[in-house]
Amino acid sequence: MSLRRWWDRAHGVTGAPSVRGLGVTAEEWLQAARDVAAAGGRLLSLWASVDASNPAAAAVYAALLTEAGVLVLELATPAHGERAVYAGLAEIFPAATRMQRAAFDLSGVRSSDPDQRPWLRHSAWPADAHPLLPAAATAAAVAEPPNADAAYEFVRVEGEGVHEIAVGPVHAGTIEPGHFRFSVVGEKVLRLEQHLGYVHKGIERRFTELPILAGHRLAARVSGDSAVAFSWAYCQALEGMSECLIPARAAWLRALFLELERIANHLGDLGALGNDAGFAFGLVQFSRLKEDLLRAVDEAFGQRYLLDAVVPGGTQVDVSAPAAHALTERVSAIAQEANALRRIYDEHSGVRDRFAGAGCLAPELAVRLGVLGLVARASGQALDARCDLPCAPYSELAPAKVVRTEGDVAARVAVRFDELQESCRLVGRILASLPGGPHLSSVAAPAAGAFGVGFVEGWRGPVFLALEAGAGGSIHRCHPHDPSWQNWPALEHAVIGNIVPDFPLINKSFNLSYSGPDV
């Protein structure tokens, strides 16, 4: 069956535009995944959910990104126990592996794929306790305090002159924790294996303890650097389920926040990348521009980072005409300065040499690994949800899609420079044509069993979120998905053959979230 036939059979899902859902049998599950892959689609997210009314039943979900839109497959399975096994998707979509391992750790539903090592579970709770199962979670809470780093089975590389370098979980510098195991010969990296999950905070369990009308605050804190993307995705799902139409001004303000978030992160990365290439001047200049932006945002909205700007029904804050004017001026000045700095980066031979050819992720590999977002666009993948599946106001704003094909650090830098300019342009455009009217409307809690999806292109890539309402205004299940899930394994490939001292630079050019996928 072709992709089209699956799409036509599926029913509409509320929330983000162009999302459909389809209940499938075990055979259809695999066939649909194969057909989507054959048509150039990729895996967006995979998670499991235990039935609200029958704790013995569960379902595993796969959200697939296709040309037509997002297709969410739902496969019923028994919950927890020996029979709770479904066909793994790792051969079709390699990125499925870690998601399947996490789904087992949290929900007790197991894939048939060979890699059964725990992912999010280190040693803080026993192997047979699954925190998202109604009963097991209490048992998990009284588990022994974690002992030393549990013996994680890293893949060993044998051979003459091969030795291992272990880094983390605590790193030098102000970054998030994770463990990297390098197998090297001399200075050359033969293999990198990541072990993540250190900042697992039980976010999906925590969602079930919050009222559904308050979940956006937690969503914003899945990965703080992408707070607007996550809180918008949450609200998009919720508003769809509640049949709430947000005011036009609110949609435009959300886009404004999202582009400001993109600008702030790109400025930060461009400075850090210059620094990692031995050009401290770049860090000084870009961190100054970033601080300028944060102060302008603070003046306009009373918060430097927009963690509490998007709320159900619209936005928490509005922008006054003078504030809009000031913000426009600042952002346009930042765009100009960033352009001048770009020329300096381009002409600096030391920087050029370090960027070019480092950490290359070839377009074919990017397809095979199903990478997303900025990293994908630097490796020839023309994917940007703002253009491909636009929600209001992006259909009207029509952002330019930035694509490079080289796949190296230089390409990821170039994508950031171009996107920075485009986002600055969008900010100007939004502030010049903000629709009038209110920025907030009322929204009621959706009925139990309602299901919705959010899908928003954050600065790092597409943020996906699935939300299922429980009884009495509660959350039965919320699964937030950061694109770093897909891109971390790609980093393992991109460093092969590079020298160890280039790892910080290559890593920074991906700049992936730990907190997001660790949930």
Partner 1 sequence: MLKTLRKIGSIGIISEPPPAPDPLLRVRERLDEKIRAVLGRALCIRHVDAGSCNGCELEIQALNNPLYNMEGLGIRFVASPRHADLLLVTGPVSRNMETALRRTYEATPDPKLVVAVGDCGCTGGIFGESYATRGPVSNVIPVDVAVPGCPPSPTRILQGILTAISSRGKL
Task: List residues binding partner 1 (CB under 8 A).
Answer: 122, 124-125, 129, 131, 137, 140-141, 143, 145-149, 169-170, 172-177, 197-203, 205-206, 217-218, 221-225, 227, 268, 281, 283-285, 287-288, 290-291, 294, 304-305, 307, 340-341, 343-344, 347-348, 513-515, 518
Outline where 74-208 has alpha helix (H). Answer: 96-107, 136-141, 203-207
The 10 Å CB-count burial string (b at 16+, else e) for 217-253 is: ebbbbbbebbbbbbbbbbbbbbbbbbebebbbbbbbb
206 touches, from partner 1, ligand SF4, none (C-beta below 5 to 8 Å by class): partner 1
Residue choice 42, 110, 122, 221 for contact with ligand SF4 (CB under 6 A)? 221
For residue 335, the surrounding DSSP H or E stretch is helix 321-347
- Dump the DSSP string for 69-126: -EEEEEEEEESSSTT-EE---TTT-TTHHHHHHHHHHHH--EESSS----SS-SSSS-
Q: Which is nearer to ligand SF4, 232 or 305 (CB)?
A: 305
Whole-number minimum distance, CB 140 to ligand SF4, in Å? 22
Cis (ω within 30 of 0) for the bond into 177?
Answer: no
Whole-number minimum distance, CB 107 to partner 1, in Å? 14
341 touches, from ligand SF4, partner 1, none (C-beta below 5 to 8 Å by class): partner 1
114 touches, from ligand SF4, partner 1, none (C-beta below 5 to 8 Å by class): none
**In which residue are the tokens 């998202």 written?**
132
Distance from C-alpha of 100 to C-alpha of 29, rounded to nearest angstrom? 15
Partnered with residue 180 across adjacent β-strands are 167, 194
Q: Which is nearer to partner 1, 33 or 124 (CB)?
A: 124
Q: Give yes or no for residue 201 binding ligand SF4 (CB under 6 A).
A: no
Whole-number minimum distance, CB 230 to ligand SF4, in Å? 12
Site residues (CB under 6 A) for ligand SF4, limited to 490-509: none
Q: Which is nearer to ligand SF4, 221 or 266 (CB)?
A: 221
> By three-state DSSP, how is residue 53 classified?
coil
Whole-number minimum distance, CB 228 to ligand SF4, in Å? 14
**Number of residues near ligand SF4 (by CB under 6 A):** 2
Nearest in space to 424 (alpha carbons), one of 289, 236, 307: 289
Whole-number minimum distance, CB 260 to ligand SF4, in Å? 17
Distance from C-alpha of 493 to C-alpha of 181, rounded to nearest angstrom? 13
499 touches, from partner 1, ligand SF4, none (C-beta below 5 to 8 Å by class): none
Distance from C-alpha of 194 to C-alpha of 212, rounded to nearest angstrom? 34
CA 433, chain centre distance (Å): 29
Distance from C-alpha of 456 to C-alpha of 16, rounded to nearest angstrom? 8
Q: Give yes or no for residue 224 binding ligand SF4 (CB under 6 A).
A: yes
Site residues (CB under 6 A) for ligand SF4, limited to 356-375: none
Q: Give yes or no for residue 200 binding ligand SF4 (CB under 6 A).
A: no
88 touches, from partner 1, ligand SF4, none (C-beta below 5 to 8 Å by class): none
Residues that bind ligand SF4 (CB under 6 A): 221, 224
